[in-house]
A and B are shown apart, each in its own frame.
Chain A
């Protein structure tokens, strides 16, 4: 057979190589995206979306809480402060890039900066699942960082948008963020897991831990469908934002890896911190920004965060951050 001819078996082998390091759950995202692109009548009912997100948030919180019980809290305070402070740099880097280079209006630049500074719980979940698949152990308290990183960037984004403008209603915004279901369920799950400990939670393991991956797979199917429906937004957003949606997570991940190394986290912990920094919120941030910065166009921020950055992190980012964390750990540790 002539060289260079694509045969089914070669194609299959190539696919295996491309998808080998990935989690199978990612294939569910691709299936959802494909269904959306071919305009299938597949729809995940809104109640199932709500139910799954409640399940995932609680399960992640519980898992983190159980792990957290193994560490003395005092040990975490310094690391958590460093992680939050370094994370606050992300929207502050993103904003001038978007406003000056991208020439986006102030509200849009601030809102997108907030989306990228905040974190995506689902990306975190996929990152954790990926690391387990790779036999890599991450510090359990990374879930605490997930909770802590969700809101500071939203505050910074609102401040960037509202600078100098009187009459911004911080009370409403703070309520929207802190009483929002993601913070309530993550923090609630953390507290329950921490108080109960792994022994007392045993009866719940089957529901929250054993079924986790399956539930995540269905949720990713839905996210694939939704991401495919944002393609139109992306076309309107243009090339600058598309480029930003790929370069920004790389910059943030580099910051995450640096922070992880300086704090002495394990390879798994460093990878997960990089994943957190690189991820862009597309659930909590849109809800908060819609109320706090209504003049920002949600199509731009959601299109970039969900349409490009989320699949980029899933398909390329997480394995790349893992590789980089492993390599740098070899050099510095």
Chain B
């Protein structure tokens, strides 16, 4: 039997690797059931982030969650980190199987 696809939010955070430990601690506190972190490189308002050494390393954090959790995390990031840290945050709608996991 094919289970139906359901809509959830995909929250993506691209930020400096220095924030990894903090986000790992905070995301579950806001109700996220899980997350995926990968190393990232790129360029933007703060110049090139080439991951040549820890101070220039970026990470990409992806969280599948419902809208309320996504909203809470985004607000938290906005107040806590937007002024002093380098990060980009965006939300998109995605179709998932087993929506209860997220």
Interface residues of A, Cβ cutoff 8 Å to B: 43-44, 46, 49, 222, 225-226, 229, 232, 282-283, 286-287, 290-291, 294-295, 298, 302
Contact = CB atoms under 8 A, between A and B. Distances in A.
B24 interface: no
Given A46-B39, A46-B57, A226 B18 contact: no
B18 A46 contact: no
Question: Which of A43, A46, A226, A232 gathers the greatest number of chain B CB atoms within 10 Å?
Answer: A46
B55 interface: yes
A226 B54 contact: no
Given A232-B47, A290-B16, A290-B18, A225 B84 contact: no
Contacts of B85: 294
Interface in B17-41: 18, 22, 39
Contact of A44 (B52, B54, B57): B52
A291 B19 CA distance: 8
Interface of B: 16, 18, 22, 39, 47-48, 50-57, 81, 83-85
A49 B54 CA distance: 9
Given A294-B85, A295-B83, A226 B52 contact: yes
A44 B56 CA distance: 14
B53 A226 contact: yes
A229 B56 contact: yes
Given A43-B52, A286-B54, 7 more contacts: A49-B52, A226-B52, A226-B53, A229-B50, A282-B55, A287-B55, A298-B55
A290 B83 CA distance: 13
B53 A49 contact: yes
A43 B16 CA distance: 20
B15 to A, nearest CB: 11
Q: Which 7 A-B pairs have the closest CB atoms?
A: A294-B84, A290-B18, A295-B84, A286-B55, A226-B53, A226-B52, A46-B51
A295 B53 CA distance: 21
Given A46-B39, A46-B57, A232-B47, A291 B18 contact: yes
B87 to A, nearest CB: 11
Question: Which of B16, B51, B81, B84 gathers the greatest number of chain A CB atoms within 10 Å?
Answer: B84
Contacts of A43: 52
23 contacts: A43-B52, A46-B39, A46-B51, A46-B57, A49-B52, A49-B53, A222-B52, A226-B52, A229-B48, A229-B50, A229-B52, A282-B55, A283-B54, A286-B54, A287-B18, A287-B55, A290-B16, A291-B18, A291-B22, A294-B84, A294-B85, A298-B55, A302-B55
B25 to A, nearest CB: 10
A308 to B, nearest CB: 16
Contacts of B57: 46
A46 B55 contact: no
A295 B22 CA distance: 17
Question: Which of A43, A225, A229, A283 gathers the greatest number of chain B CB atoms within 10 Å?
Answer: A229
Question: Which of B16, B55, B56 gathers the greatest number of chain A CB atoms within 10 Å?
Answer: B55
B18 A225 contact: no
Contacts of A49: 52-53
